[in-house]
Amino acid sequence: EWVNFHRRSRSIILRRLQDELRDSQIKPINNIMNGKDTLVIASTGSGKSLIYQIPALVQNDTLTLVIEPTLALMHDQVETLKKCGVEAEYIDSSLSGSKWPERMDQLAHKKFSLLYVTPEKLLNLDLAGNKIGMIVIDECHCVLDWGYSFREAYLKIGAYIESLKKRPIVVALTATADEKDRKHIAELLGMNHHKCYVNSLYRKNLIFVKEYALSKEQKRVILNKYLKKYHRNSTIIYCNSRKAVDAVYDSVSKPHPKDVVKYHAGMNIEARTKSLDSFLCGYSHIMVATTAFGMGVDQEKVDLVIHFNMPLSTIDYYQQAGRAGRDGQKAHCILLYSDDDYYVDKAIINSIEHFSARKRALSRLDSMRDFCQDTEHCMVKTLLAELGEQYAKDCNHCLNCKKAGLDK
């Protein structure tokens, strides 16, 4: 229904949107189409991509730049759009040989209206011959979380936008940013008089469970217990290092031969692409990966997400756990943690050179440890509170709520 948007008048499109989209999508879309900077905070699986893709297709006489943090996410978005007949492309480090000049020629001749790039590639692209109508920063929490730690290019996006002869509309989207972070993100991106749309981040179909382990060996036993209990369709297992990914992959492959793939930055691009395609196409049903995997990737039938290690923050945890149940089905989110996890994570954070960013990350790690050790309060309410949302009721189905029910 949406493939031929650019062939219809704006008024017809807007009337159709009223019937096809949710109110939480229509309002920011209208704001963008009125030429206003827009910040959207909405849960994983709520259709954030359509919020910028529809205006991009309506206003296809200009180029829309979409900044994505990972190659996997970028390739997934472009592939999905192409299947719908939309002219979209990406430019990243995977382009080599004849593909690079071919892509640049397509860009020069305006063969597509949606271009996906990493922040690093954006800063080095020659776009002088293109009229940029909109710049989208997807997963915009990365501007803070990664910009101050190991991807400085994120901090330069605002200056890049200001350097353009005609300032484009700026759109930023994420599922995880509290009120303080929203303001900081908007400042760094130079968003002018923007409007912020905040939707509830509560996902009633997600069931949260956590379990302490004394050792890695015990963790692997617990991991296989939960795989046996809850693995039905697709499962993602997150680890905090490449070494952990390799070890867990080897362990899980024994009871699940030929059904497990892995994904981390230490693998070459071809190997990562092969693993991703195998998982997304349903040839393999268990993905073991570092935490950058899956950010925004629209994979249905993920009904189990297991964290083998304690995440760096509750915000990171909710973002990653949200890969489960994107199509609304019941899903389990299992958090395994040990004392060692805290110190491994702390060592990772202490490598951050920027003082205030390191201090902020350490504080968040302490909150994550408190969350793991809390046996009394609803896990969902605690996670939402970390994101600036005060949820009135207990979820009644997380581990802590279940325990409280048994104690009564």
Rounded Cα gap, residues 304 and 235, in angstroms: 5
pLDDT in tens, 130-186: 899 999 999 999 999 888 888 999 999 999 999 999 999 999 999 888 888 999 999
The answer, yes or no, to whether residue 10 has pLDDT greater than 90, is: no
Helix (H) / strand (E) element for 76: namely helix 71-83
Mean predicted confidence (pLDDT) in 321-325 = 91
How far is residue 54 CA from its own chain's centroid? Answer: 20
The answer, yes or no, to whether residue 355 has pLDDT greater than 80, is: yes
Q: CA-based Rg of the chain, rounded to a whole angstrom?
A: 21
Tokens of 263: 């994904």
pLDDT in tens, 69-111: 988 788 888 988 998 888 899 998 777 777 888 888 888 888 8
Helical H segments across 231-354, by residue range: 242-253, 269-280, 314-321, 339-350
Percent of the chain with pLDDT over 70: 93
Mean pLDDT of the chain: 89
Answer yes or no: are the C-beta atoms of 175 and 44 closer than 8 Å. yes
pLDDT at 34: 93
Q: Which of 4-18, 84-98, 209-223, 267-281 has the highest mean pLDDT?
A: 209-223
pLDDT in tens, 272-310: 889 988 998 899 999 999 987 766 566 778 999 999 999
Rounded Cα gap, residues 166 and 86, in angstroms: 25
The answer, yes or no, to whether residue 5 has pLDDT greater than 80, is: no
Q: What pTM did the predictor assign?
A: 0.85
In this structure, of 43-57, 248-262, 308-322, the range with the lowest mean pLDDT score is: 43-57
pLDDT at 8: 46
The set of residues, in sequence order, having a beta carbon less than 8 Å from that of 297 and lying 6+ positions away, is 72, 73, 76, 280, 323
pLDDT at 15: 52
pLDDT at 7: 45
pLDDT at 401: 95
